[in-house]
Amino acid sequence: MDDIIDGLQAGFISLDCGLSAEELSSPYDEPSTGLRFSSDAAYIQSGQTGSIQPNRESQYLKPYRTLRYFPNGSRNCYNLNVEKGSKYLVRAFSVYENYDGLNIKPKFDLYLGPNLWSTVEWQERDDVRRVEMLHIPTSNSLQICLTVSGSLNLYFRTFFNKSDTYIRYPSYRYDRVWTWYFRNEWTQISTTLQVEVNNLENDYDPPNAALTSAAIPTNSNLPLMINWTSRRECSLQLIRTNRSTLPPLINALEVYTVIHFPQSETNENDVVSVQNIKTSYRISKNSWQGDPCVPQQLMWEGLNCRITDKSTPPRITYLNLSSSGLTGTIADYIQNLTQLETLDLSNNNLTGEVPEFLGNMKSLVFINLSRNDLSGLIPQALLRKGLLDPQGNPRLCLSDSCIPPKSKPFPVAIVASLASVAIILVVLVLALVLKKKTRSILGALQRPPSISSAVNVTNANPPVSPIQMNKKRFTYSEVINMTNNFQRVVGEGGFGIVYHGTLNVYEQVAVKLLSQSSTQGYKQFKAEVDLLMRVHHTNLVNLVGYCNEGDHLALIHEYVPNGDLRHHLSGKGGRSIINWGIRLRIALEAASGLEYLHIGCIPAMVHRDVKTTNILLEEQFKARLADFGLSRSFPVGGESHVSTMIAGTPGYLDPEYYRTSRLTEKSDVYSFGIVLLEMITNQPVIDQSRKKSHITQWVEFELISGDIRTIMDPNLQGDYDSHSAWRVLDLAMSCANPSSTKRPSMSQVVVELKECLASENSRRNMKRGRMDSHGQAKVSMLIDTGIFPEAR
pLDDT of residue 608: 85
| Amino acid sitting at position 429 | V
CB atoms within 10 A of CB 701: 14
Band (pLDDT 50/70/90 cuts) for residue 572 is: low
Phi then psi for residue 549, to 5 deg, are -135, 105
Reply yes or no on whether the pLDDT at 201 is more than 60: no
CB atoms within 10 A of CB 181: 17
Mean pLDDT score, 477-496: 84
Sequence-ordered strand ranges (E) for 613-764: 615-617, 623-625, 632-634, 642-643, 662-663
Reply yes or no on whether the pLDDT at 778 is more than 50: no
Query: Which helix (H) or strand (E) element contains residue 349?
Result: strand 349-352
Among candidate residues 44, 55, 61, 47, the one with its CA nearest the CA of residue 98 = 55
Shared domain for 18 and 94, answered yes or no, is: yes
Reply yes or no on whether the pLDDT at 21 is more than 80: no
Reply yes or no on whether the pLDDT at 232 is more than 60: yes
Phi then psi for residue 787, to 5 deg, are -105, 10
Within a domain: residue 423?
yes
Within a domain: residue 568?
no
Cis bond upstream, residue 295 (ω within 30): yes
Reply yes or no on whether the pLDDT at 636 is more than 50: no
Q: Which of 609, 654, 668, 721 is catalytic?
A: 609
Mean pLDDT score, 37-50: 88
Within a domain: residue 264?
no
Domain boundary among 239, 254, 269: 254
Shared domain for 82 and 169, answered yes or no, is: no
Q: Where are the alpha helices (DSSP H) in 576-617?
A: 580-595
Reply yes or no on whether the pLDDT at 445 is more than 90: no
Shared domain for 673 and 653, answered yes or no, is: yes
| Amino acid sitting at position 417 | S
Domain boundary among 115, 130, 149: 149
**Is 721 an annotated catalytic residue?**
no
Shared domain for 552 and 667, answered yes or no, is: no
27: domain CATH number is: 2.60.120
Mean pLDDT score, 94-102: 81
Window from 137-151, 234-248, 368-382, 522-536 with minimum mean pLDDT: 522-536
pLDDT of residue 585: 93
Among candidate residues 573, 676, 669, 560, the one with its CA nearest the CA of residue 616 = 560
Mean pLDDT score, 262-267: 79
Cβ atoms of 540 and 615 closer than 8 Å: no
pLDDT digits (tens, 9 = 90+) for 581-614: 999 999 999 999 999 888 877 778 888 889 998 9
Shared domain for 244 and 390, answered yes or no, is: no
Within a domain: residue 565?
no
pLDDT of residue 306: 84
Alpha-carbon gap, residue 577 to 581, rounded angstroms? 12
338: domain CATH number is: 3.80.10.10
Within a domain: residue 572?
no
Among candidate residues 275, 301, 375, 240, the one with its CA nearest the CA of residue 74 = 301
pLDDT digits (tens, 9 = 90+) for 721-776: 888 898 999 999 999 999 988 999 998 999 899 988 888 887 776 654 443 333 33
Domain boundary among 220, 254, 288: 254
Domain holding 41, by residue range, is 1-149
Reply yes or no on whether the pLDDT at 116 is more than 70: yes
Q: Between 546 and 3, where is the model more confident?
A: 546
Alpha-carbon gap, residue 493 to 524, rounded angstroms? 10
| Amino acid sitting at position 635 | P
How far is CA 91 from its chain centroid?
35
Band (pLDDT 50/70/90 cuts) for residue 646 is: low
Q: Where are the alpha helices (DSSP H) in 124-196?
A: none
602: domain CATH number is: 1.10.510.10
Reply yes or no on whether the pLDDT at 450 is more than 50: no
Shared domain for 226 and 292, answered yes or no, is: no
Mean pLDDT score, 219-230: 84
Window from 230-234, 335-339, 495-499 with minimum mean pLDDT: 230-234
Q: CA 348 → CA 303, 321, 331, 392, distances in Å?
A: 17, 9, 13, 11
- What residues contact 459, with CB distance under 8 A and at least 6 apart? 466, 467, 468, 469, 533, 534, 536
Mean pLDDT score, 575-581: 80
Band (pLDDT 50/70/90 cuts) for residue 460 is: very low
Mean pLDDT score, 380-396: 77
* Residues facing 46 on adjacent strands: none
DSSP 682: -
Shared domain for 530 and 553, answered yes or no, is: yes
Within a domain: residue 621?
no
Phi then psi for residue 108, to 5 deg, are -155, 165
pLDDT of residue 454: 27
Within a domain: residue 409?
no
Q: Between 12 and 408, where is the model more confident?
A: 12
CB atoms within 10 A of CB 219: 10
pLDDT of residue 35: 85
Shared domain for 89 and 222, answered yes or no, is: no
Within a domain: residue 518?
yes
pLDDT of residue 780: 30
Question: Euclidean distance between the first and final Cα of the chain, in Å?
Answer: 47
Window from 165-169, 212-216, 536-540 with minimum mean pLDDT: 165-169
pLDDT of residue 692: 86
Percent of the chain with pLDDT over 70: 74
Mean pLDDT score, 375-388: 79
pLDDT of residue 399: 60
Alpha-carbon gap, residue 756 to 547, rounded angstroms? 42
pLDDT of residue 56: 84
Shared domain for 636 and 725, answered yes or no, is: yes
Q: Between 271 and 159, where is the model more confident?
A: 271
pLDDT of residue 341: 85
622 annotated to a ligand binding site: no
Shared domain for 144 and 160, answered yes or no, is: no
Reply yes or no on whether the pLDDT at 351 is more than 90: yes
Q: Between 285 and 648, where is the model more confident?
A: 285
Reply yes or no on whether the pLDDT at 357 is more than 60: yes
pLDDT digits (tens, 9 = 90+) for 535-565: 778 888 888 888 888 888 888 888 888 888 9
Q: How many domains does the chain have?
A: 5
Shared domain for 205 and 300, answered yes or no, is: no
Q: Between 176 and 413, where is the model more confident?
A: 176
pLDDT of residue 150: 46
What's the whole-number average pLDDT of the chain?
77
Overall residue count recorded for the chain in this entry = 792
470: domain CATH number is: 3.30.200.20
Shared domain for 8 and 143, answered yes or no, is: yes
Band (pLDDT 50/70/90 cuts) for residue 149 is: low
